[in-house]
Structures are given as structure tokens and as C-alpha cells.
Amino acid sequence: MKKTKRDIRVLGKKDLQEFFLSHNIPSFKGDQVYQWLWKKGIQDFNLMTNLSVEHRKLLKSYFEIKHINIDVKQCSKDGTIKNAVKLHDQFTVESVLIPTLKRTTACVSSQVGCSLDCVFCATAALKRIRNLNADEIYDQVIAMDHQSKLYFQRSLSNVVFMGMGEPLMNYKNVLSAIDKITEPQGFAMSPKRITVSTSGIPKMIYRMAEDKVKFGLAVSLHSARQQLREKIMPFTNKFPLTDLSKALNYWYEHTKKQVTFEYIVWDGINDKKEDIQSLVKFSRQIPSKINLIQYNPIDNSLMKQAPKKTVEAYLKALKEARIKVTYRHSRGEDIDAGCGQLANKL
């Protein structure tokens, strides 16, 4: 009977040390393997050149490395790169590399499909198939760091969890991936350069605060009026804005980090004076800044971007209320790589 091999990246450093000790091999070999897996992102035991041939054979007899593959790559006219990421079980997610003059940002996915039902998002139509493992999330970062160096001659500077899926519905694996991205023996990125974007699940925001995470938090808000928000994001009928506000204040008290509200302005939906006033009122309750986002159209949607004068009315009201606000133009729209457009269409 063929022996079932374990995915080696499920093991921690201590587990690897104990594995070698159990075979009468010094434990520091486990440290070396850990560095190959996480700092160097090696996907083949044969490339672990500071291990003897015998030790590599031993690893191969017990373990496998279930790495991702970039199946298809698309390049936008603005330099944005969208990847179709093939997983070990043949499911696909998408990741996006976004270059600017001074930095490159990796937008990573956390689920195959999505647990939620936001009407403006193409990923929501796919429904959730499974959560990504920590190593599958980490591999996206490594792959896009390689692309950043190849195409833009610089290392990856930022990571945002704004791809496919709701990160807080895959909490354990997302935090485990971030640990690997930030630890010195991993990718060694500062947590200040990482942002997790959520649709706003209060109990998980409390948990993040209590876990004393160091990364940034963004919340997809899109309306500060409960009834309207439920129409745009139906699942929020279980998560009232009052609960979200309390959770975000708790977050700030424990982390001292402002939250960023992501907010799209649609024509005929959230473009009225009361929508603007509600956002100003809600934002004042929480140490926050606003990121107004250009809408990226998706298939079979009647929603459309509000005209420039409506966006300017939002900007004017928020600035007059001394609330930090920026307007973010879409990137990669021509290859369906913008926010809300990821739907495995490559």
C-alpha cells in the first residue's frame, strides 16, 4: 500500500526539528528546511542544497510540497498583472500585482470563491468552495515578489487581502500566512505594510484586537445607512452598523490603528445628501479615514459609477468635517483585475 505523504508546510519549525531528531539527525536541519520553505520559497526538496542527498530523500519519502502554479497571466495597459493561481487540487483563484511609481502591491485571495453575497462583487457569484491554506496565501506573495523583481526591478512593498474571499471567514489561515510573511525567517515584511480588508464581521474584529495584530484594517462600508447597506451587502442584516461601530472602536482602543473605510459611490443608490451625511456621522464615531473607490463594472450588473459631481460632493463634505479622505482610481480594469472584478475569467 502506497504511503500517504503529508504536506510539509503544515509543520512548524519545532515539528521539523523533532522529525529530524526522531531519525537521529541534528535538530538544526529542521531550521534549515524551515528557511528553505518560508524565507526562500523553495518548492522542490532537491533544491535544498545544504541538505545531504540522503536527508533530501528522507524528506521526499515522508512529505510533499503542495505549491501553487501561475496558470495564466494577464497584463493591463497600466502595468497591473492578474494571475490565475492553480492550486494543488486544481481549483483556481486570482491574485493581482499593482505597480505604482514608488511601490508594488500584491492583492491576494483568501478563499476559493467567497462566503458572502455582496451584489456589486463578481467573486460573490462563485460561492465559497473552500478556504485557502496558509501556504497557498503565502505562495501568492512569493510569486508576486518574483514578478515585481522581474518586471519592475524592485521587491514587493505591500500586501493587501482584497482578492477573492472574506479573510475573516478564514481567520486562522490568514493570520498564519501573515505570520510567515512578517517573520524574519519568512518573507520578513513589516506588518505595517499589510492590510486586511473585511466586509465587517464584528466578532472577528474583536478577536483581531484581542490577538493584538500589527497589520492594518480596511472595512468595505459602501453605506452608513443600515437598510441600504443590507441591499448592497445582504449578509449585513446579521451585523448592524451599531455593532460594527462598537467593534471598530474596540479595535482602535487595543491597536491604536485607524480603520480605513472602503466606499464606492453608485449612481442612484448611495448618491443622495442623506448618504453623505450618514457617512460623515458614522465616520466621526470611529478614528478612521475614507477611501472612495471607483466602481469596476461586472457582468449582468445594472450598477454604475456615480458622476464626478457626486463624488466631489462626498469629498467636499468629508473634508469640511475634517475626515481624512482620498479617491482611488481603478487599476487593471481592462483585464477585470479591479476591486470586485475577480471571477476566474482568465
- Nearest of 323, 301, 281 to residue 124 by alpha carbon: 301
Whether residue 181 sits in one domain with residue 125:
yes
Residue 211 lies in a domain: yes
For residue range 240-260, list pLDDT tens digits in order: 999 999 999 999 999 999 999
Domain boundary among 22, 48, 64: 64
pLDDT digits (tens, 9 = 90+) for 298-337: 766 778 899 999 999 999 999 999 999 999 776 666 655 5
DSSP strand E in the chain: where?
A: 6-7, 63-64, 69-75, 81-86, 92-99, 104-107, 111-112, 130-131, 158-161, 194-198, 216-220, 259-264, 288-293, 324-328
Q: Which of 94, 166, 262, 333 is catalytic?
A: 94
Q: What is the CATH number of the domain that holds 20?
A: 1.10.150.530
Tell me the average pLDDT of the chain. 92
pTM, entire model: 0.91
CB 221 within 8 A of CB 276: no
Q: Which of 114, 118, 121, 339 is catalytic?
A: 339
**Structural domain harbouring 217:** 69-335
Model confidence pLDDT, tens digit, residues 51-73: 999 999 999 999 999 999 988 88
Residues 130 and 275 in one domain: yes
Our count of domains for the chain comes to 2
Determine whether 107 is an active site residue: no
CA-to-CA distance for 179 and 191, rounded, in angstroms? 9
In a domain, 342, yes or no: no
DSSP state letters, 119-157: TT-TGGGG---EEPPHHHHHHHHHHHHHHHHHHHSS---
Mean pLDDT for the stretch of residues 72-83: 87
When comparing pLDDT for 299 and 237, which is higher? Answer: 237
Classify residue 346: in a domain, yes or no. Answer: no
pLDDT digits (tens, 9 = 90+) for 200-220: 999 999 999 999 999 999 999
User: Do 93 and 112 touch, CB atoms closer than 8 A?
Assistant: yes
Q: What are phi and psi of 328, to 5 degrees?
A: -105, 120
- For 189-203, write each residue's pLDDT tens digit: 999 999 999 999 999
Q: In this model, does residue 344 exceed pLDDT 50? A: no
Is 94 considered catalytic here?
Answer: yes
Indicate whether 46 belongs to any domain: yes
Residue 40 in this model has a pLDDT that exceeds 70? yes
